[in-house]
Amino acid sequence: MRIERLDNGFRIDATALGPLLGVPGEDMQRLMREGRIASLCETGRGEDHGRHRITFRHGVTRIRLTVNDAGEVLLRTRATVAPHF
């Protein structure tokens, strides 16, 4: 998975992320614009300094990526969560 560090966050290749959410890569941007895929980027503090947690959610699927400052994926989890209304 390709993750690029930007000044204001990260850029992730949609064609790699889409299948993790069960979505064709070419549909990712449209679903994000429609608000059907949500994302959140958190910056670690203290002992987690230099790490970032990027969360994506689509329907009941949640993907969390823990990455370092260089964008290297340290941990990837996928979970089924309660629907969000």
Is 10 inside a domain boundary? yes
Tell me if 16 is assigned to some domain.
yes
Query: Domain residues for 13?
Result: 3-80
CATH number at residue 9: 3.30.505
Report d(CA 42, CA 66) in Å as an integer: 9
In-domain check, residue 85:
no
| DSSP H or E segment with residue 33 | helix 28-33
Tens digit of pLDDT for each residue in 12-61?
998 899 999 999 988 999 999 999 999 999 999 999 999 999 999 999 99
60 domain-assigned: yes
Whose tokens are 């064609």? That residue is 15
22: which strand partners? none
30 belongs to a structural domain: yes
**The total number of structural domains that make up the chain:** 1
Q: What is the pLDDT of residue 76?
A: 96
For the whole model, what pTM was predicted? 0.88
Which token pair is 50?
């230099």
Residue 53 forms part of a structural domain: yes
- The values of phi and psi at residue 18, to 5°, are -50, -50
The two tokens of residue 32 are: 């994000």
Examine residue 42 and state whether it is found in any structural domain, yes or no.
Answer: yes
Spatial strand order of the sheet with 73-80 comes to 37-43, 51-58, 61-68, 73-80
